[in-house]
Amino acid sequence: MIKKWYINGEWREGTEYASLRAPYTGQVIAEIPQATKTDVEEAIQAAKRATGAMKELPAHKRATILGELIAQLKERHEELARTIALEAGKPLQAARGEVDRTIATYQFAQEEAKRIHGETIPLDAAIGGEGRVAYTTRQPIGVVAAITPFNFPANLVAHKVGPAIAAGNTIVLKPASQTPLSALLLAEMLDTTELPKGAFNVITGKGSVVGEELVKHPDVAGITFTGSPEVGIDLKQKAGLKRVTLELGANSAVIVDNTNITKEMVQRIVWGSYVNNGQVCVSVQRIYVHNDIYDIFKKMFTEEARKLVVGDALDEKTDISALISTSDVKRIDRWVQTAVSGGANIVLGGNMRNERIYEPTILENVNVEMEVSCQEIFGPVVVLHRFHDFKDAISHVNTSKYGLQAGVFTNNLTHAMEAAKHLEVGGVMINDVPTFRLDHMPYGGIKESGFGREGIKYAIEEMTELKLITFKW
Ligand code: NAP
């Protein structure tokens, strides 16, 4: 199937194409146009021309357009879920869950479109302010370039497109090369709405070509990027004075304090560790367990992880499927084998099932400097660490160069409060895994996990300019 781009409200053919393969079967599922710099320029100019029309749209109209999109998403729910499962290798149940969340994200955007407002400023609080009044508004910044990763090809796009439309901006979207189909399906849906022509454009191709061009272009006002720290940090350095939001990676941790371990808690941590094959920016990677309960936790966790069903992403029963690329499978195996050579124990897994699938894996006796612990593994591998003192557990979590979210299971209120205060992350989940996210929460990281916040209301702040108006009488 030969795909086309969506620029200026029209479907266009490319001059060069690349074959897109399904991660699970390796079979070609589409031919995707590869943009040149000229194509990117066209998309940016279309988005720039549409800024005037978007700025004129009243809030209720922007909300209506998002409502029309939501209706389409509900109608084409299963089609989008299957597209995600096929192109990303995401197990179908998880893909359906992603579509539910995508709808919720656009619903929040629809609501927030009507709540964008400023405040009045008491100017007479300063000498010289007598007889004056001031208020602020939030205005759209203009053209937003959205660059997205493969692991949530619909919902992470929604976290950029939803607030951009809600705020009255125009968009050039560059989806990950492995997951362009969900983005092109979104374009089909938006095409049926009353969104002004050119306000939403999708351009596909290599990040090194399309992304670079978007970041350097003077007509792009803001970059909203979700992806790896390496690429994100490089983009920020090149972006100059543009607004930049970076949602990057992590090696997220959960602390299991000396507490009653329940089956439900263990199942929740297994979910947080292996959902979407561990390819989630807030996947549980490091589990810090109190020494007194370490052995029982290990036993229960291993029993639950062993139950995960490995198979085809399109099979209803599958929990774990293909990773996004065969090179990632090899990288993960290399990291695991290096850890084992350095003295780590394999508690479960530790093998490639085949060139596309890595088995759910648990390691212990891991040195914190090993890649499996200190780098982002982005696969179905967790490491168990013991701790004796809760304060030490917090310090261990904080040794990470990342800081996205952390989870803590504890019944001890003082420990919960200490964790809330001292964990160096963007979000602390008490009695839950770091993987917990609802789509209106402020979401983002510190350190190498990013810069700025998403969660519709917060993303709108990043995508609008505060403007002051004063009156004198
Ligand atoms: P990635 O390789 O960094 O790619 C992300 C996007 O950036 C893709 O669209 C990619 O295009 C593009 N890109 C690549 N090189 C570029 C360049 N030089 N200039 C501009 N754009 C460029 O990340 P990924 O492998 O898709 O996703 C996994 C990463 O995303 C993990 O680190 C994960 O933790 C992170 N992530 C973070 C969050 C969060 O909210 N914090 C959420 C999800 C994922 P191509 O595909 O064409 O290379």
DSSP string, 62-129: HHHHHHHHHHHHHHTHHHHHHHHHHHH---HHHHHHHHHHHHHHHHHHHHHGGG----EE-GGGSTT-
Atom of ligand 1 nearest to the CA of 443: 40
C-alpha 177 to ligand 1 mean position (Å):
10
The CB of 212 under 6 Å from ligand 1? The reply is yes
User: DSSP readout, 232-259?
Assistant: HHHHHHH-TTSEEEEE-----EEEE-SS
Q: What is the pLDDT of residue 28?
A: 98
Task: Return the residue whose CA atom lies nearest to atom 9 of ligand 1.
Answer: 176
pLDDT for the residue 373? 98
Q: Residue with structure tokens 């970041």?
A: 215
Q: Is the CB of 456 under 6 A from ligand 1?
A: no
Query: Ligand 1 centroid vs 226 CA: distance in angstroms?
Result: 6
CB within 8 Å of 281: residues ≥ 6 apart: 151, 226, 247, 248, 249, 250, 404, 449
pLDDT value at residue 259: 87
Q: Using only the alpha carbons of the chain, give its radius of gyration.
A: 23
pLDDT, tens only, 107-120: 999 999 999 999 99
pLDDT band at 1 (very low <50, low <70, confident <90, very high): confident
Tokens of 89: 């290798």
pLDDT recorded at residue 251: 98
Per-residue confidence band for 129, with pLDDT thresholds at 50, 70 and 90: very high
Residue 404 has pLDDT above 90, yes or no: yes
352 CB-near residues (< 8 Å, 6+ apart): 329, 330, 333, 358, 359
Asked if residue 145 lies in contact with residue 224, where contact means CB atoms within 8 angstroms, the answer is yes
Amino acid (one-letter) located at 110: Q
Tens of pLDDT, residue by residue over 141-199, are 999 999 999 999 999 999 999 999 999 999 999 999 999 999 999 999 999 999 999 99
**290 band by pLDDT with thresholds 50, 70 and 90:** very high
Q: What is the pTM of this model?
A: 0.96
Alpha helices in 285-325 (DSSP H): 294-306
Instruction: With a cut of 90, say whether residue 426 has pLDDT above it.
Output: yes
Q: Which residue has the tokens 């146009």?
A: 33
Q: Which residues belong to the active site?
A: 247, 281
pLDDT per position as a tens digit, 195-242: 999 999 999 999 999 999 999 999 999 999 999 999 999 999 999 999
Query: Is the CB of residue 238 below 6 angstroms from any atom belonging to ligand 1?
Result: no
CA of 175 to the centre of ligand 1 (A): 9
Centre of ligand 1 from the C-alpha of residue 231, in Å: 7
Mutate-to-test residue for ligand 1 from 32, 147, 375, 449, highest number of ligand atoms within 8 A of CB: 147
Residue 148: CB within 6 Å of ligand 1?
yes
Q: Which pLDDT score, from 0 to 100, does residue 54 have?
A: 98
C-alpha 284/C-alpha 204 separation (Å) is 31
Ligand 1 center–CA 429 separation, angstroms: 25
Dump pLDDT digits (tens) for 26-83.
999 999 999 999 999 999 999 999 999 999 999 999 999 999 999 999 999 999 999 9
**Res 356: pLDDT:** 96
Helix (H) / strand (E) element for 231: namely: helix 229-238
- Asked if pLDDT for residue 140 goes beyond 90, the answer is yes
**Closest ligand 1 atom, CA of 324?**
25
HSE-up of 443 (CA within 13 Å, CB side)?
21
